[in-house]
Structure 1
Amino acid sequence: MSTAVSDTASVGDVLRNFNFSVYITTAFVSNAGTFMQGVGVPFVMYELTKSNTWVGASVFAVMIPSLLMGPIVGPLADRRDRKVILLWSSVVQLIAATALWVLAINDALTPWRIISCLVVAGFGAGFQNATAHALVPLLVPQNQLMAAIRLNSVNFNVARVIGPVAGSLVLSHWGYRSTFALNALSFVVVIGGLLVTRPRQIVYAGAHEAWLRAFKTSIDYVRSRQSMRQLMLFSFMLSVFGASVWQLTAGLVAEDYHASESGIGYLIASFGVGASLCGFLLLARGHRFRRSRMTLTGVSCYALGALIAVATSHIEVGLIGFAVMGAAHSLGGVASTSTLQTQVSEEFRGRVLALFIMSSFAGIPLGSIAGGRLGDLFGLRPTLASYAVALTLYAVYGIVRLDRLRLFDKS
């Protein structure tokens, strides 16, 4: 059974926890490094291929391994030390990032070599994502969990601002190779932080149940709870038709906005600015908002932002659209993560979080590669407009058929 979680702790209360402060600081460095590389990879992939499909495939290469690891990672996070899992996943991602940098400085990059490095990084990230979310409740007292979830979301979104802006500056002044090098260094920082972090000890479940059987048990757990089913659907829809959009910025900047490569970083940074401003609002006032309303508002604003972004060929308008999408992403992300963390039982936390992230990681590469292919055939502007229509229809479905997602408001 899940227990009710109070929402009275302040940001200061949470940051006074040494373990959480170290964790969130090093996570910021790592996320910023990843977003820096996220500027470099689409740029060099587009330069090598002149194809939006290849850019979408680079996203596919990172996300799909993470998706495939879900049936293993979920049970693992419920059975083994989550800190140790994160350490090894960071080592794997460090190796992949270093390999990408070595290939780059030797002018040996090809589309398939980039894809190969990203696949390795994706396997490492697959062990990280659900485990990192499952670790947060072990770093703070129960009464600080909601504040910690919101702060963790804001931390990620601020990194989404800093990373692309820094990445675009690095790309303009020192080239894409430096974005790869700085990403590799960021994992060194994460490894150091994890080594000094001391999470609360819990008794992990025994390994008497087979891995796939344990994962199937979590699927049954989700299927038996209507709010969990709705969460998985929300995560998938927002990933396919929302989060995948900013993965296609390289083509949008080159083909529709006719801007320089620095425009990639500015669009992603604008997304992060919107997400951060909304996140800071949620830090201060989040406890006053119903999660159901936050979720539906997030979906609607994602659709609105996408329509604004493709309304004209002026990148200045695109920046506004991406900022709106960023705010929408923050609303939906905080609402859905808070709902899951407060409603799931500790016994199933790792496995259900893995399922939740799998629903997202299935959606983003599908949306990216489909959007890239449709963009090559019909243009990115009509493609992204159709994505906005799909999100609008889902919002209507949530209001009419899912009772305005009111199950999200329960603890």
Structure 2
Amino acid sequence: VSSEGGGHNPSLVGVLRNPVFGAYFAGSSISNIGTWFQNVAQSILIYRMTGSTFLVGVVNFAMFVGLVAFAPWAGPMADSHDRRRLLLLTQAVALCIAASLWLVVVADAENTAFIVGAALMMGTAMAFSVPALQSLVPALVPEGHLSRALSLNAVSFNLARAVGPVLGAMVVAGLGFAWAFFLNAASFLVFVVALLVIRPRGGSGERPGSRRLRDTATMLRQDRRLLGLLAVVALASLTADPINTIGPEFATRIYGYQDTFTGWMIGAFGVGAVAGALVVSRVGLPSVRFVFSMLITGGSGMVLFGVSEGPVFGLIGLGIAGFGWLAAVMLATTAIHILVADDHRGRVMAFWSIAFMGVRPVSSLLSGLLTAVGGPRLAALLLALPAVLGALGLVMVR
């Protein structure tokens, strides 16, 4: 399948009809749903085994710390190697890790150390896949379709975030943890098949004379626009992450529900995020005021969730938080792609992956510690501050 084609300002459906991007979108969406099966399952499993929200935070820390640790290598690899082949390798590794979790649970041999170790290895595979994944998208569609394709790429992740946790919680409650891990392994296989089918426009990598990561870091320091856009992504993600760590305790301690209600909470956040991506899908270079409003929206939603006494207002707050979070991230990400040359793209997206997911180790540990000290409400309210501070910072440097 080839990605040739043209057209300008297409509809979202029109972009999906592109056979290359359509195959990629389907495989990526299924894989993302499977990943949320594992995220929810491992958080609930650790919480049931230990009763410790801090250890849930440790698992999430392990899942994302690799994005920071391996960024110096992941970005350059995305620029100097075939991105599709790099993704094939990382997805195959992730499949093996998910399958190992399935086997351990089937054998009734699960323990905290193994689950943390598996999360660490999965995060390492993710560290090398994210820059390649983000850098590959522009090669799957004609240039005039880029904004829409990036929005759909975000929709893929967040539609999975809306559906995956709910389905994952249902699988855990109805079939058990082993099935959740097995289905995640199967989802990676689906994405591998999709990657084998597609042929990106103009190839997808092996660029001679690629720049060093240090050169890209210098460029970012000199370009306040790009640095500010990456800061928006990081601050928005700091505010968004706590729900993944504090969810089980918030569900049981505040709402009086079972810990599997975490899936519905993360799902509500995902529904809002999908709506946010669709709303900003036609925006190119955003105004400072627009990004400011989305950061404030995300922070306000987390505050509403943090003060909620019952699940109705809590789910509404999480939906608002998800809307503001992804809208702000999408506006910043689209602008980054527009402003960055392709020979810097992999390295810039390595910095983007640090901003988007690399802040989560810090956020996960903070969420766990704050919950241990002052309860889940304190964690939710204090970690709403980064989005508000980011919005104020945008106004000050405008």
Task: Name the structure 2 match of 1:357.
Answer: 353
Task: Name the structure 2 match of 1:402.
Answer: 397
Structure 1 window deviating more from structure 2 (297-306 vs 55-64): it is 297-306
1:281-308 deviation per Cα after TM superposition (whole angstroms, max 9, x unaligned):
334xx33893533422221112111111
Task: Name the structure 2 match of 1:381.
Answer: 377
Partner SS for 1:109: coil
Task: Name the structure 1 match of 2:214.
Answer: 216
Work out whether residues 147 and 284 of structure 2, in 8 Å CA contact, stay in contact via their aligned partners in 1: no
1:273 aligns with 2:275: no
Q: Which amino acid aligns with 1:322?
A: L
Task: Name the structure 2 match of 1:406.
Answer: none
Work out which of the residue numbers 299, 307, 310 in structure 1 matches 2:306.
310
Q: Aligned partners of 1:292, 1:246: CA distance in 2, in Å?
A: 29
Task: Name the structure 2 match of 1:10.
Answer: 11
Q: Aligned partners of 1:31, 1:357: CA distance in 2, in Å?
A: 16
Q: Aligned partners of 1:293, 1:147: CA distance in 2, in Å?
A: 22
Structure 1 window deviating more from structure 2 (200-209 vs 132-141): it is 200-209
Partner SS for 1:287: coil
Structure 1 window deviating more from structure 2 (26-35 vs 147-156): it is 147-156
Alignment of 1:287-306 (within 5 A): 287=283, 290-306=286-302
Partner SS for 2:160: helix
- CA RMSD between the two structures: 1.8
Specify every segment of 5 or more residues in structure 2 that has no aligned partner in the other structure, as ranges: 1-6
Q: Aligned partners of 1:38, 1:227: CA distance in 2, in Å?
A: 33
Task: Name the structure 1 match of 2:3.
Answer: none
Task: Name the structure 2 match of 1:345.
Answer: 341
Q: CA deviation at 1:8?
A: 1.9
Q: CA deviation at 1:235?
A: 2.1
Q: Which amino acid aligns with 2:166?
A: V
Structure 1 window deviating more from structure 2 (296-305 vs 384-393): it is 384-393
Task: Name the structure 2 match of 1:125.
Answer: 126
Q: TM-score, normalised by structure 2?
A: 0.94
Q: TM-score, normalised by structure 1?
A: 0.91
Task: Name the structure 2 match of 1:80.
Answer: 81
Work out whether residues 36 and 168 of structure 1, in 8 Å CA contact, stay in contact via their aligned partners in 2: yes
1:219-246 deviation per Cα after TM superposition (whole angstroms, max 9, x unaligned):
1111111111112222222222333433
Paired residues in the alignment total 391
Task: Name the structure 2 match of 1:408.
Answer: none
Q: Aligned partners of 2:30, 2:288: CA distance in 1, in Å?
A: 32
Work out whether residues 7 and 146 of structure 1, in 8 Å CA contact, stay in contact via their aligned partners in 2: no
1:341-371 deviation per Cα after TM superposition (whole angstroms, max 9, x unaligned):
1100111000001011112333111011111
1:58 aligns with 2:59: yes
Q: Aligned partners of 2:157, 2:46: CA distance in 1, in Å?
A: 25
Work out whether residues 26 and 193 of structure 1, in 8 Å CA contact, stay in contact via their aligned partners in 2: yes
1:233-273 deviation per Cα after TM superposition (whole angstroms, max 9, x unaligned):
22222222333433321122122222112311100111111
Partner SS for 2:307: coil
Specify every segment of 5 or more residues in structure 1 that has no aligned partner in the other structure, as ranges: 1-5, 404-411
Q: Aligned partners of 1:277, 1:59: CA distance in 2, in Å?
A: 26
1:10-38 deviation per Cα after TM superposition (whole angstroms, max 9, x unaligned):
22331221111000000000000011111
Task: Name the structure 2 match of 1:239.
Answer: 237
Work out whether residues 245 and 368 of structure 2, in 8 Å CA contact, stay in contact via their aligned partners in 1: no
Work out whether residues 292 and 335 of structure 1, in 8 Å CA contact, stay in contact via their aligned partners in 2: no
Q: CA deviation at 1:375?
A: 0.7
Work out which of the residue numbers 178, 201, 205 in structure 1 matches 2:207.
205
Partner SS for 2:165: helix
Structure 1 window deviating more from structure 2 (307-316 vs 366-375): it is 307-316
Q: Aligned partners of 1:282, 1:256: CA distance in 2, in Å?
A: 34
Task: Name the structure 2 match of 1:190.
Answer: 191
Q: CA deviation at 1:208?
A: 7.6
